[in-house]
């Protein structure tokens, strides 16, 4: 087998193109990462016991604190006194609902469970004639009290979930046709409809958005990133920020979600820096005569990490648990020798840290970026902005129609098309119009060595070796449900295949988002197959509507 040693690309680079999406903005809250990276992964902890527990431990594990530990996180994310009182008062009573995950899904659900109730404005006319006719059949009845199956029937759009399409159509009636018709909904705060709940999350409210590089521009239009009754453009205007080409920065969006929780008065429901490590459930409690709620009790355990990094465990019981943990916490790995070496990372933030620390620079060895998706493209853009030399390797051919670049309109996403163009024109064999960047299409990384050598196999089966300063493996991520019995695999549509947001999500009832396999256990967001913020909100509507119905059935 032939081994070719190649010099790294020249450090002299052409100037970074002026395209949206390049870093440079300072984050309004300071760096959104670093201080908010996930605490120790739940994946390293023992998963919960198998199902079929005959009896759960008493209300709260006596060996544990019995309630969530004292507050410590920053003010916007910390647990308020009200929260502590609430938990103190109810520690012997199971909670009605625990939501695990505080991203857009968890926030939207918390909003609906806090008594914010959507009604159709009496003067509103929906541009979809069939939907308009159905809406006019029940004037004055909250959407949450209507038949979501009936209302959503016949709607079509960029998502499989009927309720997601319905809620999106009510919030953004003609957005897919380029229109800007105002939402047909009006929101009433009806405290009597509120259902007590707790939202637990590792990050501050905003979930994955606190882990995305703050200066990156959203793929979606800024308006599609908004939550009910607070338009992103209005919020931006008040913050004296602006959209870029109708898109927002990830930093602004993370800030918006945090602010949303405060503005809507939801903070007391949120506990940040809380990592759930186990969810267990047993057989339903013996029902009192006439009781019609067959839910088992869930026991939710984990720990809260304080600012000084000390951890305090908690254990709580709940009648219903909502999984809203997203899919970004467990990066996919190549599974090759050397992947655990300290210069190998699976997160774009490592590049930012290395750039700031000077570990990578215009004169260093190149950064090796593996992957042909948008995260890898973001990393290429980031590195080029700082004139750091890049080797960009991926397994597919550049013209593979499955590549995400081929699915994005050029006009809207010039920066990603620039990367795609570079991938095509700057392959290792062709002369370079892009100094400091080389692409290695159809190359397989075989091995990483301690002396920072990366060994590849090219399409002809030859081995090539490059010296690199840093490796970023950005090839996607998987949901991490290691806190569930069996890591949640038996909840998937196909329990024999790995759980995947795109290919094999958790199987839920489409109109309640309750998991098919477990009463009282719900899943929403990418876990249930809704991959965009715009559509995760339909899941929140379905869950809230289902929980309200359960509350109504509860014996007095």
Ligand X SMILES: Cc1cc2nc3c(=O)[nH]c(=O)nc-3n(C[C@H](O)[C@H](O)[C@H](O)COP(=O)(O)OP(=O)(O)OC[C@H]3O[C@@H](n4cnc5c(N)ncnc54)[C@H](O)[C@@H]3O)c2cc1C
Binding site for ligand X (CB under 6 A): 38, 42, 100-106, 200-203, 207-208, 212, 218-220, 274-276, 324-326, 328-329, 375, 480, 483, 525-526, 531-534, 536
The neighbouring-strand residues paired with 299 are 280, 317
Between 219 and 408, name the residue whose CB sits nearer to ligand X: 219
Between 297 and 533, name the residue whose CB sits nearer to ligand X: 533
- Cα 284 to Cα 47, 53, 553: the distances in Å are 21, 10, 16
- Cα 48 to Cα 45, 104, 316, 427: the distances in Å are 9, 26, 14, 48
Task: Report the nearest approach of ligand X to the CB of residue 32 (Å).
Answer: 12
Between 329 and 365, name the residue whose CB sits nearer to ligand X: 329
Which one, of 89, 88, 91, 107, lies nearest residue 99 by Cα?
107
Between 167 and 466, name the residue whose CB sits nearer to ligand X: 167
Task: Report the nearest approach of ligand X to the CB of residue 119 (Å).
Answer: 25
Task: Report the nearest approach of ligand X to the CB of residue 326 (Å).
Answer: 2
Q: Residue of minimal CB distance from ligand X?
A: 326
Between 105 and 545, name the residue whose CB sits nearer to ligand X: 105
- Cα 52 to Cα 292, 298, 322, 480, 521: the distances in Å are 21, 12, 20, 22, 15
Question: What are 243's two structure tokens?
Answer: 């959209």
Between 274 and 547, name the residue whose CB sits nearer to ligand X: 274
447, exposed or middle or buried, with CB in 10 Å at 0-12, 13-18, 19+?
middle
- Could you give the CA distance from residue 138 to residue 143 in angstroms, rounded to a whole number? 9
Task: Report the nearest approach of ligand X to the CB of residue 38 (Å).
Answer: 5
- Could you give the CA distance from residue 348 to residue 331 in angstroms, rounded to a whole number? 11
Between 367 and 536, name the residue whose CB sits nearer to ligand X: 536
Task: Report the nearest approach of ligand X to the CB of residue 121 (Å).
Answer: 26
Between 152 and 203, name the residue whose CB sits nearer to ligand X: 203
Can you tell me which residue has the tokens 């969006």?
A: 253
Task: Report the nearest approach of ligand X to the CB of residue 402 (Å).
Answer: 19
Task: Report the nearest approach of ligand X to the CB of residue 426 (Å).
Answer: 24
Task: Report the nearest approach of ligand X to the CB of residue 530 (Å).
Answer: 7
In sequence order, the 6+-apart residues with CB closer than 8 A to the CB of 213 are: 23, 33, 250, 348, 349, 352, 378, 382
Between 8 and 207, name the residue whose CB sits nearer to ligand X: 207
Work out the number of other CB atoms within 10 angstroms of the CB of residue 247.
22
Cα 517 versus chain centre, distance: 23
End-to-end CA distance of the chain: give it in Å, rounded.
77
Task: Report the nearest approach of ligand X to the CB of residue 122 (Å).
Answer: 31
Please, how many CA atoms are within 13 Å of residue 117, restricted to the half-sphere of its CB? 19
In this structure, are residues 231 and 182 in contact, taking their beta carbons and an 8 Å threshold?
no
Question: What are 103's two structure tokens?
Answer: 């991203």
- Could you give the CA distance from residue 241 to residue 227 in angstroms, rounded to a whole number? 18
């Amino acid at each position: 087998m032939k081994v070719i040693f190649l010099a790294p690309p020249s450090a002299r680079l052409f100037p970074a193109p002026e395209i949206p999406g390049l870093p440079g903005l300072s984050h309004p809250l300071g760096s959104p990462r670093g201080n908010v990276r996930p605490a120790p992964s739940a994946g390293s902890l023992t998963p919960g016991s198998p199902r079929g527990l005959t009896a759960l431990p008493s209300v709260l594990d006596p060996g544990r604190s019995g309630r969530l530990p004292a507050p410590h996180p920053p003010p916007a994310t910390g647990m308020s006194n009200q929260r502590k009182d609430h938990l103190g008062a109810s520690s012997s009573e199971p909670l009605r609902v625990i939501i695990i995950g505080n991203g857009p899904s968890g926030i939207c659900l918390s909003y609906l469970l806090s008594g914010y109730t959507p009604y159709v404005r009496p003067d509103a006319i929906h541009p979809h004639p069939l939907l308009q006719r159905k809406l006019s059949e029940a004037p004055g009845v909250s959407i949450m009290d209507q038949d979501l199956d009936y209302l959503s029937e016949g709607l079509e759009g960029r998502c499989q979930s009927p309720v997601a399409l319905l809620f999106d159509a009510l919030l953004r009636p003609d957005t897919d046709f380029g229109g800007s018709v105002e939402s047909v909904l009006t929101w009433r705060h009806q405290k009597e409809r509120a259902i007590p709940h707790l939202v637990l999350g590792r990050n501050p409210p905003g979930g994955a958005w606190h882990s995305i590089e703050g200066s990156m521009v959203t793929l979606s239009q800024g308006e599609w990133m908004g939550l009910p009754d607070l338009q992103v453009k209005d919020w931006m205007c008040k913050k004296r920020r602006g959209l870029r080409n109708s898109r927002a920065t990830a930093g602004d969006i993370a800030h918006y979600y945090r602010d949303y929780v405060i503005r809507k008065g939801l903070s007391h429901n949120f506990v940040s820096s809380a990592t759930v490590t186990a969810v267990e459930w047993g057989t339903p409690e013996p029902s009192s005569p006439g009781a019609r709620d067959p839910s088992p009790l869930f026991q939710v355990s984990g720990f809260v990490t304080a600012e000084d990094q000390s951890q305090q465990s908690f254990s709580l019981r709940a009648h219903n648990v909502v999984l809203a943990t997203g899919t970004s916490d467990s990066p996919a790995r190549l599974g090759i020798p050397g992947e655990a070496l300290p210069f190998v990372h699976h997160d774009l933030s490592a590049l930012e840290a290395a750039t700031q620390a000077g570990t990578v620079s215009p004169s260093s060895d190149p950064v090796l970026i593996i992957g042909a998706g948008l995260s890898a493209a973001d990393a290429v853009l980031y590195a080029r902005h700082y004139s750091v030399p890049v080797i960009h390797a991926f397994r597919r051919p550049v013209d593979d129609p499955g590549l995400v670049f081929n699915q994005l309109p050029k006009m809207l996403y010039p920066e990603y098309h620039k990367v795609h163009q570079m991938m095509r024109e700057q392959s290792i064999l062709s002369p370079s119009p892009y100094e400091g960047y080389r692409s290695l299409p159809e190359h397989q990384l075989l091995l990483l060595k301690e002396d920072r050598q990366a060994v590849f196999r090219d399409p002809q089966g030859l081995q090539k070796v490059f010296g690199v300063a840093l490796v970023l493996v950005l090839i996607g991520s998987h949901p991490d449900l290691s806190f569930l019995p069996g890591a949640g695999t038996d909840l998937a549509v196909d329990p024999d295949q790995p759980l995947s947001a795109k290919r094999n999500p958790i199987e839920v009832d489409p109109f309640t988002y309750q998991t098919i396999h477990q009463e009282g256990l719900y899943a929403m967001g990418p876990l249930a197959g809704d991959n965009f913020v715009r559509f995760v909100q339909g899941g929140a509507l379905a869950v809230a509507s289902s929980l309200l119905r359960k509350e109504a059935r509860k014996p007095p």
